[in-house]
Amino acid sequence: MRDISKALRLYVSPVFFRENVTVYAGVVYLLLCAGMDYTYWGRNFWHDGRYTMPGLLATFWWLSLQAWFTALSTHYWRQVRSPATFMLPRIQAAEYGAAHIVLPLLFVVLALPILSLGAPLLNVMALESINVVIWSGSDRVGPRNMRTRMRVPRLVLNLGAFIVLLAPSMQSRLLSAPWYVAAAILLVTIPMALQEYRFRSYVMANETPVKARRARKNRTPSRWVMSIVQMIMWQPSWLRRVPFPNSFSTGAPLGLGVQIILMAAAFGLLMMLAACLSEMKPPSWDMLKHAMRSASVQTVILNALGLVGWMRSRQDWPFLLSLGPFGSRTDFSYAVFRAHGLRTMQAAVILGVFFGAMMWRVGQAHAGLALAEGLACAAMLVGASYLPSIAFLFRKSDRPGLIVLLSFGGIMMLVQFYLDWLIEARHTTWWMWVPPIGALAFAAVMARIAPPALGQKDWPIEPPVG
């Protein structure tokens, strides 16, 4: 018990917060849920025997579950995977025992925003347990070279469950399910989560057998496959080759377009299948339209997250500055932000046109209004992509945790809130176009003042841990 108490102290120490950036996102999501609870306080969400949770509250609550359970798993696996674990097996047992205590406490705290609005306790716990199973495994958190190999069935099941349950309608259906359904979910998911937390010996992901590496090297794709890949990954000549990782193929317009179509189709089919199973009805055009509305928003959000990843991956910048024709640090910073602006505008226009086309095809708006909504979506994406650069303006704010928080805050909160607002709005008003204009103005200001502030920081500019 003494070992477990020492392991528990780490959860309220700086060790828990160090390199555990999802904690900050979880705090923000819980604060948003608390604010919405205050807004909806006293309202009855039971109608005809069914609990219907507000859409934005359901989304932010589900994201808060993901953030907090990911933070718990990140800390747990970081402690268990340390070299001391192999020399002192008591550390493994202590961390495993501490997880048994922290997990129920986290269940209770995270259930409060929904329980305060009249949701049934057992059903809320069942929803939380599903999220625990998704993010408890050692193959989902931590450095990639220390993760265990993820099994394909588990990857598909976890991704499908997270995306489907991100939809407020699916959460409402589970919250309205009979008590024995919730109890059955708990009996299945809790043992699965505890089994996932059990420590197993791992092999570094890059330590593949020699024969497999040689076979992979000798296996060359055919000429037509290479031609298709080159066509998909083509970048226009005016887009400068960016000096930082090009996440999600946002620099290749054809690649981004193919990715958007495939993701939207997959999300739409998953959501429609879930709706058919929950309502026990055959698929219909109205069901498909409702699923594609939600799928289009999630597709835009997930693709937009790749626009801000470069601000967290700066370990190679000192070498690029020394070897490239950039000049001073300020000149290099301007070049980086210029490349970011070109890439972001290209990706934002593609995502905005996709969103507008989807709103037109599902009958949400006529062609002219749908095009305007698509351009407004693009403007919001451009503004949100510059939000993490606020961390460069102050002396002690350039930290990975704050950059991640601003990245997720701009994309997952501001952009998603605005897109949901466009979808749910009954009438078009002039002040609906104020946020996109403000987002473009904010991006223009940050593009001018952030590069000099970034250039004045010490090199290497990768901030220290903590």
Q: Quick: pLDDT tens for 241-276.
A: 555 555 545 677 888 888 888 888 887 887 777 667
Q: Is the CA virtual torsion 344, 350, 354, 355 positive or negative?
A: positive
Q: What is the pLDDT of residue 207?
A: 44
Q: What is the pLDDT of residue 380?
A: 92
Higher pLDDT, residue 66 or 427: 66
Q: What is the pLDDT of residue 206?
A: 46
Q: What is the pLDDT of residue 163?
A: 66
Estimate the crossing angle of helix 367-385 against helix 329-361, to 10 degrees. Answer: 150
Q: What is the pLDDT of residue 248?
A: 46
Cβ-proximal residues to 23 (8 Å cutoff; 6+ apart), any chain: 16, 17, 67, 68, 71, 401
Structure tokens, 135: 């993010």
Q: Name the pLDDT band for 438 (thresholds 50, 70, 90).
A: very high
Higher pLDDT, residue 210 or 145: 145
What is the number of other CB atoms lying within 10 angstroms of the CB of residue 201? 6
Q: What is the pLDDT of residue 293?
A: 81
Report how far residue 342's alpha carbon sits from residue 18's, in angstroms, rounded to the nearest whole number: 33
What pLDDT digit, counting tens, does each position of 310-332 carry?
776 666 677 777 766 677 888 88
**Range ranked top by mean pLDDT from 117-126, 147-156, 220-229, 287-296:** 117-126
Q: 334: number of CA atoms within 13 Å, CB side?
A: 10
Cβ-proximal residues to 330 (8 Å cutoff; 6+ apart), any chain: 451, 452, 455, 456
- For residues 44-55, give the mean pLDDT: 79
Structure tokens, 193: 């989560």
Q: Name the pLDDT band for 444 (thresholds 50, 70, 90).
A: very high
**pTM of the complete model:** 0.66
Report how far residue 385's alpha carbon sits from residue 377's, in angstroms, rounded to the nearest whole number: 12
Q: Name the pLDDT band for 202 (thresholds 50, 70, 90).
A: very low
